[in-house]
């Protein structure tokens, strides 16, 4: 039975060696955004109708994933990587154990979650420069639900 115990270790190796492809999010003269999944288990599906919406505070997105773990509890954190430092910029609990605020709270392992439509947020000016933003969703057991690393090139 020795072989059984090797599995988690191997798993880790695959994580570090197999990368997901880089996807383009949007591109205009001022802004280029790419993303890459940082979830070892799967790629993430995401698109944005245009870059320009990002500065006006409303964009249309499509996003989809297959849950690898249930989301009775769900948290989101957004971190900015700048000059090698990780700066937390946003963090919120999206689903509470016994208080499902969002209709998809409580979905289980294996379910497909899809959102298509507008997303609005506080509009802000994207500073010039190249930086990375990591968006991570995880559940109450700290399992990664979605992990996405955005590369933003702003001119």
Partner 1 sequence: ISCEVTRTVDKMCIEFIANRSYSCEDLGLEQIPEYLPFTTEVLDFSFNFLYALQSPTFSKLEDLVSLDLTRCQINWIYGGAFQSNSHLETIVLTGNLLLFLADEAFTGPSHLKHLDLTQTGLTSLEFIPMQDLGKLETLILGSNHIQSIQFPPDFPTKNLKYLDFQMNIIQKISANDIAILKKTSNLTLILKGNNIAVIEDRAFSSIFFYSLNFGGCINISVILDGLQGAETVVLWLGSFEDMAHGIDISVLMLQGICNISAHELNLQYHHFSQISAGTFQCLTKLQKLDLTHTFLKMLPPDIVSMNVLKELHLSKNDFMLLCDISSAAFPNLTHLFIRDNSEKLNLGSGCLETLSKLQYLDLSNSQVQSSDCCNQELRGLSSLRHLNLSYNRQLLLHNIAFEECANLVILDLAFTQVTTSEPEGPFRNLHLLQSLNLSYCQIGSSIQYILQGLESLNVLNLRGNNFESGTMLNDNVFRQTPNLEVLILSSCKLPGIQTKAFYALRKLKHVDLSYNNLIAFSSDIFSNLRSIYLNFANNKIRIIPRDMLTSLSGKSVINLSYNPLECTCSNIELLTWYKQNIDKIEDSDKTTCSEPKSLAGIKLFFVNLSCGHHTAQIILITLV
- Report the nearest approach of partner 1 to the CB of residue 62 (Å): 6
> Binding residue for partner 1 (CB under 8 A) from 30, 49, 58, 86?
49
Select from 5, 48, 40, 3 the least CA-distant residue to 19: 40
89 binds partner 1, rule: CB under 8 A = no
What is the C-alpha to C-alpha distance for residues 146 and 155, in angstroms, rounded to an integer?
Answer: 28
What is the C-alpha to C-alpha distance for residues 136 and 155, in angstroms, rounded to an integer?
Answer: 26
108 binds partner 1, rule: CB under 8 A = yes
Tokens of 101: 């605020």
> Which residues within the stretch 4-43 sit at the binding site for partner 1 (CB under 8 A)?
4-10, 12-14, 17, 21, 23-24, 41, 43
What is the C-alpha to C-alpha distance for residues 132 and 120, in angstroms, rounded to an integer?
Answer: 21
With CB under 8 A, what is the number of residues at the site for partner 1? Answer: 40
For residues 56 and 119, the answer to whether their CB atoms sit within 8 Å is no
Site residues for partner 1 per CB under 8 A: 1, 3-10, 12-14, 17, 21, 23-24, 41, 43, 45-49, 62, 64, 66, 68, 99-104, 108-112, 114, 116
């Amino acid at each position: 039975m020795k072989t059984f115990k090797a599995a988690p270790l191997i798993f880790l190796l695959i994580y570090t060696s197999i990368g997901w492809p880089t996807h383009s999010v949007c591109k205009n003269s001022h802004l280029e955004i790419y993303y890459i999944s940082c979830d070892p288990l799967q790629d993430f599906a995401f698109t944005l109708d245009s870059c320009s919406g990002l500065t006006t505070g409303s964009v249309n997105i499509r996003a989809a994933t297959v849950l690898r773990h249930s989301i009775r509890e769900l948290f989101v954190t957004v971190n900015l990587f700048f000059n090698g430092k990780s700066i937390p910029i946003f963090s919120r609990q999206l689903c509470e154990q016994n208080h499902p605020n969002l209709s998809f709270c409580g979905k289980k392992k294996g379910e497909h979650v899809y959102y298509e439509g507008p997303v609005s947020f506080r509009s802000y000016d994207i500073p010039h420069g190249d930086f990375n933003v990591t968006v991570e969703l995880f559940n109450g057991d700290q399992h990664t639900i979605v992990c996405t690393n955005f590369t933003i090139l702003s001119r």
